[in-house]
Structure 1
């Protein structure tokens, strides 16, 4: 993959939608098939040679570090970006979805800038663009290499995708990865790509709410499920495999340890499934250190992503070793490095 190669990343994994598409509930199945078709079309459109470049416009590189948000309304269609409805600095509209998207983009910018001194997800003031009300009964949200896109949900399994701020942070963090380590979206490097998005998506939520590691729920997508679904969220970083267990949705398949690593040809080699292993490692390191997760643990993960030592094909053990090196470089041989070593050991990933 060439530097800054964009990937099409959805918050709801294809294996979950494929499971729903086979449901005996005709309405659930039809809406899941519609979402899968919409995802396939959007992915194909992103691959066309006339797609816009992914680098930030030249005049933003030296811009003052501030968010540059624009929200568009697709009005139930799929043409992107849609009608512009709110720009940076404008007052809230009468559309709660528009306002949540605007706020979520801002919360993500604030984490990266306020904590790590990064000017937007690319480090050079990249404008943050989002489109809402995408398609009809669309049960997903995605980053397409240039912008965020949110569905309103299918009102069977999923609600409005702007409801959880960590979903917004997660998808924008795919852009952060795109502009830094550029992790290939397949197998272990793809699972790391997904995990990094879960890590920073959770940190966006924790930072916005001022939550300590003890106060955080460590869930990704809490509040996204319809009340009839037996589940808390799409994923749990604290306890992978426990986020949902529902007659229609199925059971959360994430492993928490390398002993249970899932080998599959689905989901790009299980990128949304095996991400549970590095997710739990981050949770363990952050809770061992205590306080605010975006500080020491988050700083270590940020340093790894921006340090230039990763390759697009980086595997779990290589990433783990990089976190140890980053902890030592920033903090010396103190509590931080011990927390990182202990965390990776607990999930069965070697660090040497």
Structure 2
């Protein structure tokens, strides 16, 4: 495989953070980080293969793995019972339409998946991730004190957190984390953005955008009132307040390297070193993240109504696997003019100019 075909795994924990803790953290942090990195590496191939099969063969994920695509079952939550990936999805813990159970993680995964499904249905008129009613499958209690959550190409998987990197139970509590990871499924089945360098940073940024929008929609928050944080309160306090800040990239946690302007773009190799983050996909996503924040706040009101509609249209109709920042930016400008007016178009263009992508 060449660099653009190499298999990847989109997980919520920034690999550069895990890589740094694996080298420089205390003994407990090192142990937790190494465990998270090893497990993430083990599921890379499956995710890449699933995405390519879906796009190239025009199949849906449900056909490939046997999950339902029916109006009767929107989602199902399984308990992985602290086992590894060979046990996925695990034991069925809560079916669609069933009442809450005693397990908080099961209920949180259920509620977060449902909220994401309803956002895409009601706001973007998209019928689940594939547009055809795909059942959203989730497994909780994955691994032992596993510090990550990820979309593996067919379903969501949540660890419990170790209390050394992520707070115990934090990964299923965070609605924007759930929506972020599920949006990787939308991206796989539409733009197919290659998970490397700028296209990979766009992949991460679109997930942050819609993760934040799902949270804002659930809270009925306007753009001016949102915190624009991804994963607020899920890291242990000594590491930081969140995984990313869309309004102030580089301020979310200790060692956060996200830039908010192209002048500070971090040019990293995509060489399988987790500290280099697939060429900086979680790092340089700060630039398009801030552009969206600037556009949304300039447009005002509810961010999903205008800025979100523009970004969704671009993601699902205008991007190619190797799209770069400037191409994505110009596409949002064009779509803003087509969907709305010159006023919205100017706001979007101004946002990209402010972060140095357009001139």
Both proteins in one fold, TM over 0.5:
yes
Offset at residue 163 of structure 1 (A): 1.4
- Which residue of 89, 102, 113 corresponds with 2:110? 102
Query: Does 2:333 align with 1:324?
Result: yes
Aligned residues: 338
Is the 8 Å Cα contact of residues 67 and 120 (structure 1) preserved in structure 2?
Answer: no
Offset at residue 70 of structure 1 (A): 0.6
Distance 1:222 1:182 in 2: 28
Corresponding position of 2:89: 81
Q: C-alpha deviations, 1:68-108, integer Å up to 9, x for none?
A: 11111111101211111111001101001100000000111
TM-score for the superposition, normalised by structure 2: 0.89
Q: C-alpha deviations, 1:213-245, integer Å up to 9, x for none?
A: 111100000020123x24210000000001112
Structure ranking higher in helix proportion:
2
- Which residue of 103, 125, 129 corresponds with 2:133? 125
Report which stretch shifted further, 109-118 or 314-323: 109-118
Query: Does 2:60 align with 1:55?
Result: yes
Corresponding position of 1:208: 218
Query: Does 2:232 align with 1:231?
Result: no
Report which stretch shifted further, 7-16 or 111-120: 7-16
- Which residue of 257, 272, 275 corresponds with 2:261? 257
Corresponding position of 2:148: 140
5+ long unaligned stretches in structure 1: 246-250
5+ long unaligned stretches in structure 2: 270-275
Matches of residues 159-238 of structure 1 in structure 2 within 5 Å? 159=167, 160=169, 161-227=171-237, 229-238=238-247
TM-score for the superposition, normalised by structure 1: 0.91
Is the 8 Å Cα contact of residues 198 and 325 (structure 2) preserved in structure 1?
Answer: yes
Q: C-alpha deviations, 1:232-264, integer Å up to 9, x for none?
A: 10000000001112xxxxx11000000000011
Offset at residue 36 of structure 1 (A): 1.0
Report which stretch shifted further, 19-28 or 204-213: 19-28
Is the 8 Å Cα contact of residues 13 and 149 (structure 2) preserved in structure 1?
Answer: yes
Corresponding position of 1:43: 44
Distance 1:275 1:113 in 2: 26
Offset at residue 8 of structure 1 (A): 2.1
Distance 1:48 1:198 in 2: 23
Offset at residue 57 of structure 1 (A): 4.0
Offset at residue 67 of structure 1 (A): 6.2
Corresponding position of 2:164: 156
Corresponding position of 2:12: 11
Q: C-alpha deviations, 1:264-283, integer Å up to 9, x for none?
A: 12211100000000000000
Matches of residues 21-32 of structure 1 in structure 2 within 5 Å? 21-32=22-33
Distance 2:75 2:163 in 1: 28
Matches of residues 292-311 of structure 1 in structure 2 within 5 Å? 292-307=302-317, 309-311=318-320
1:69/1:324 CA distance change after superposition, 3 Å: same
Q: C-alpha deviations, 1:177-204, integer Å up to 9, x for none?
A: 0111111111100000000000000001
Offset at residue 7 of structure 1 (A): 5.1
Distance 2:148 2:96 in 1: 25
Q: CA RMSD in A?
A: 2.3
Corresponding position of 1:315: 324
